[in-house]
Amino acid sequence: MTRLSVNINKIATVRNARGGNIPDVAEAAVRIESFGAEGITVHPRPDERHIRYSDVRQIRPLIKTEFNIEGNPVESFIALVDEVLPDQVTLVPDAADAITSNAGWDTVRNRKYLTEICRHFHERGIRTSIFIDPDPAMARGAALCGTDRVELYTAAYAEGYPSDPEKAIAPYLATAAAARDSGLEINAGHDLNLENLRFFLEKIPWISEVSIGHALISDALYLGLEKTVKAYLGEIPGK
């Protein structure tokens, strides 16, 4: 059954806009988990414009389900992951000045590099996931890198869903099938929301995990955090 991991970056963005510690990111993580979320995701960037490295250190011992750290494996990021030992590290090729993640890895061109990174984290007992675009060749390439999972970058699906859901899901279904046939588990994330999540998971029911942040935290402004977490869980078939 698909697990829901909540990305709490946007909570940190609100805190950082004012300074101080309101809202308390660590408390939010604990509460989100208590509301039924099956994981917490953070994406610390080098400029720490939302989640800070200190947040990651503070949150790690508080999480009782799954802790997923995503980011570009630059030297400081690797050192942080080695220090806190999350359950999963998701490798994302975002530039330092990117507003948000906007592309997946070319797993063919970067095979040697990604293989070394995956091996490094595996030696520390950390599951790896590689962020990829909806392209079966990238899924097969990721398998050759030795990763455990891929995360499908779902922005294009979310953009195309309102006008033609079947067309929007088609490349993701093909990529997820290629990943499964290559022995990989599959995660998904980026712009998934209460309108498009159920269709995605009904079409690709073997998704292991969805990571949702921006839409979920935005919905919580209207519904409240607890009701929102439960609403997203309610869109996952079988829950």
Where b means 16+ CB within 10 Å and e means fewer, 150-159 reads: bbbbbbbbbe
Instruction: Report the distance separating Cα 169 and Cα 160, nearest Å.
Output: 8
- Main-chain phi, psi angles of 205, to 5 degrees: -70, -10
Report which of 216, 112, 218, 217 is spatially closest to residue 233, judged by C-alpha positions: 216
The residue annotated as part of the active site, out of 38, 50, 190, 209, is 190
Residue 214 annotated in active site: no
The region that residue 15 occupies, defined by phi over 0 for left and psi between -120 and 50 for alpha, beta otherwise, is: alpha
Q: Out of 38, 43, 151, 209, which one is annotated catalytic?
A: 43
The DSSP-derived string for 86-128 is -SEEEE----TT-SS------TTTTHHHHHHHHHHHHTTT-EE
> Active site residue: 33, 38, 66, 70, which one?
70
Which residues carry out catalysis? 43, 70, 190
